[in-house]
């Protein structure tokens, strides 16, 4: 297992040697860092990985991506990278996160 650690205690965990995603934790839109309940083994695009978190006992589907604290796709000195969870608003329980 390889843990890639980012700011605010967020991380992505992969199984080697192929880099299959198996877990992690991400910053949600309400400002809380949550453990990922599920994560897809591989990314579906260059920038996002399907995943889900638990909010108030319910599963919220969405995706995780690594971006800077300010929301840019590239991190700079003084603007470190963080794993961010974005919920699918049109899916069941999508409205649990702002």
- The full length of the chain comes to 98
- Residuewise pLDDT in 10s, the chain (98 residues): 999 999 999 999 999 999 999 999 999 999 999 999 999 999 998 889 999 999 999 999 999 999 999 988 888 888 999 999 999 999 989 899 98
Q: What pTM does this model have? A: 0.92
For residue 16, the SS3 value is coil
CA distances from 44 to 8, 15, 21, 77 (A): 25, 17, 12, 28
User: In terms of residue numbers, what domain contains 48?
Assistant: 2-96
Quote the number of domains for the chain.
1
> CA distances (Å), 92 to each of 19, 64, 88, in order?
30, 18, 8
């Amino acid at each position: 297992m390889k843990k890639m650690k980012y700011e605010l205690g967020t991380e992505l965990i992969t199984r080697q040697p192929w880099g299959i995603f198996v877990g992690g934790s991400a910053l949600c839109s309400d400002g809380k860092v949550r453990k990922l309940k599920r994560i897809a083994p591989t990314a579906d695009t260059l920038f996002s990985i399907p995943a889900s978190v638990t909010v108030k006992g319910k599963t919220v589907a969405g995706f995780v991506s690594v971006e800077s604290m300010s929301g840019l796709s590239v991190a700079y000195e003084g603007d470190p990278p963080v794993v961010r969870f974005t919920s699918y608003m049109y899916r069941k329980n999508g409205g649990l996160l702002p």
